[in-house]
Structure 1
Amino acid sequence: METIFIGGGVFILWAFWTDIKARKIPNILNILFMISGLLYHAVISGWDGLAFAGKGFLLGFGIMLILHWMKAVGAGDVKLFGGIGIWFGMGMTAQVMMYSIIFAGVIGLLIMLWRRETIMRMRRVFWKLIGSVLWKQSIRSTETEHQQFLTFPFMTAVLPGVVFCYLFIT
């Protein structure tokens, strides 16, 4: 199990560094992450290892793809979670995803409080919800509204999510 954490951890740290530096996770990193995980599991456990990796990939990639369609995460994060799924399997991938989303919510709230935007954003959400219920207006945001959304590198939430998960598993 330690080999899995070391192997996957190297790629997660690499992704963290590139996401902080350039706000992007390169495709070459994600491809290497996935291929190395597949090779590792194939060599260690054969077909059972590939099945383990495949299930993890489907969970990590699939759920993050839905979040990407909702414009909550970038495409690099989707591919990265495919790699996390391959290396760590379904169980740990689900936990890492849950912890990462919790950390992302906390980080987003802290940023909003720091910028003192919390009340203004909450009012905007409240009036959008009221408008959608009473006047059947669309809740979907326009492109200009989407550009005003609070964004930060998701890896700032994924890295602590992985560490937190690792500490509770071992």
Structure 2
Amino acid sequence: MTNLAPILILTISIITDLRNRKILNIVTLPAILIALAFHTITTGLDGFLFSGQGFLVGLGLLLIPFLMGGIGAGDVKLLAAIGALKGTVFVLYTGIYAGIIGGLIAIFILVKQRKLGFTLKHMLFSAVFLKGTKGSLQVPADKGNTLSIPYAVSIAIGAILTFLLETNL
């Protein structure tokens, strides 16, 4: 499948994630179904397996962070859609790059808000005493100060890096 479909899906997802903090099911779910159908029609069982494995890897990469409360379901479905469209290797690299970019964005935001030191101490305390925050970077207990980033941006940057390096994959 051409790169146009994932680029369109990522662009729409970035816009909705930045504006409303949501990645829409009307974008991700049809993308998954269309990718499965396209790959199955064009290359049969091999295409179905290519798309299905990519979907499962994309889903699996963010499933645990989602279950721990650190990431939204839309982000999981977006990465799964990218996997269904582009396959296992592409989504694996995209997920790795997205994790690195997401971490850098989180550090940048914490530094800008002057909360990096407090957050690192809080994370160390939580790890030492096995008292977690369900996987999210929560600064104080009130919801207004919780660190939250639009992860569609990280996924899109990860996909762009993978597109650029795709010839080497």
TM-score range (shorter-chain normalised) is: 0.7 to 0.9
Shift of 1:146: 8.1
Question: Where does residue 161 of structure 1 map in the other structure?
Answer: 158
Counterpart Cα distance in 2 of 1:50 and 1:18: 29
Question: Where does residue 76 of structure 2 map in the other structure?
Answer: 78
Q: Residue 141 of structure 1: SS of its match in structure 2?
A: coil
Equivalent residues of 2:25, 2:74 under 8 A apart: yes
Cα distance, 1:165–1:146 mapped onto 2, change above 3 Å: farther
Question: Where does residue 43 of structure 2 map in the other structure?
Answer: 45
More helix by share: 1
Residue correspondence of structure 1 range 21-100 to structure 2 within 5 A: 21-100=19-98
Q: Which amino acid aligns with 2:119?
A: R
Q: Which of structures 1 and 2 has the bigger CA Rg?
A: 1
Counterpart Cα distance in 2 of 1:14 and 1:21: 11
Q: TM-score, normalised by structure 1?
A: 0.87
Shift of 1:126: 2.7
Shift of 1:36: 1.8
Q: Which amino acid aligns with 1:140?
A: G
Provide Cα deviations, 1:45-99, integer angstroms capped at 9, x if missing partner.
1221111001111111122111101222100111111111100111011000000
Provide Cα deviations, 1:105-154, integer angstroms capped at 9, x if missing partner.
00000111111111121222233334x1xxxxx42227974844311110
Question: Where does residue 15 of structure 2 map in the other structure?
Answer: 17
Q: Which amino acid aligns with 2:133?
A: S
Q: Percent identity over the alignment?
A: 27
Counterpart Cα distance in 2 of 1:141 and 1:57: 28
Q: Residue 2 of structure 2: SS of its match in structure 1?
A: helix
Are 1:103 and 2:101 an aligned pair? yes
Counterpart Cα distance in 2 of 1:79 and 1:108: 21
RMSD across aligned positions (CA): 1.9
Unaligned runs of 5+ in 1: 133-137
Aligned length: 162
Q: TM-score, normalised by structure 2?
A: 0.87
Unaligned runs of 5+ in 2: none
